[in-house]
Amino acid sequence: MATVQDLYSLIAGFIELGGVVVAILLVMSVIAVAVILAKVFQFWRAHVGWRSRAQQAVALWNEGRPREALDLASAGRSASARAVSLAISMKTDRRLEKPEIEERIARHVAQDLHDLQSGFRLLDAIAQVAPLLGLFGTVLGMIEAFQKLQSAGNAVDPSILAGGIWVALLTTAAGLAVAMPVSLVLTWLESRVEEERVAIETLASDILATRLAPVGVAAPVALKREVAVAG
């Protein structure tokens, strides 16, 4: 309980020194932490980065075992597994042409990645605005410090100016303290989404690059790579 009270006192003193700007930065930091925790939980639930099931499904597909590949991919919760499952189910439908399959998969993947990227703009805005807001607080603090210096007249005390300057610089430090970790975490989240996108495109391409052989062909040659043959 004492620790909570000490923390509250520390935050209250910090806000008292930095004023409204520090209070706004504190609110922004709380929002950023909440969004980051929500994104980490979302990534965990969506199995971002879990590609082993999708890779195994593609391997089964290439071995000529489409039913097993579809069952394995359909049981996955990751975006890559869902994309592979969709690719297999549409690829086995001989009524669908490859361009139509590619378009449907692209729409499905775009929606999945859009969901994963939700909240990124807010984090980016916080990372960009926080240091500017801190600098704005510093400018306001410097103005106040020089006003006090001017009102002191001939009885100028250097400590007044020094105290005003370090309090003013406090807001810049607070802004950077908010912006830097948010920027780093945002970069990490964006890299995870990009890795997921590349993996999905690669795995889906592996499915689309093969075609089922006519019924009755043995399993080892049930799948063959599509190649362009002139003439």
d(CA 221, CA 198): 28
Sequence spans of domains, the chain: 2-213
d(CA 35, CA 190): 14
* Residue 230, pLDDT above cutoff 70: no
Binning pLDDT at 50, 70 and 90, where does residue 126 land? very high
Q: Would you say the pTM of this structure is higher than 0.85?
A: no
d(CA 112, CA 118): 10
Contact 166, 145 (CB under 8 A): no
Q: Whose CA is closest to 109, among 185, 210, 202, 211?
A: 202
The CA-to-CA distance between both ends of the chain, in Å, stands at: 82
Please tell me the predicted confidence (pLDDT) of residue 13. 67
* Residue 184, pLDDT above cutoff 90: yes
Which residue, chain included where needed, has tokens 């970790």? Answer: 181
Tokens for 42, please give them: 């979302």
The pair phi, psi for residue 60, each rounded to 5°, is -65, -40
pLDDT digits (tens, 9 = 90+) for 42-69: 999 988 888 888 888 888 888 888 888 8
Amino acid residing at 99: P
Tell which wins on pLDDT, 148 or 121. Answer: 121
Please tell me the predicted confidence (pLDDT) of residue 30. 94
Average pLDDT over residues 124-148: 88
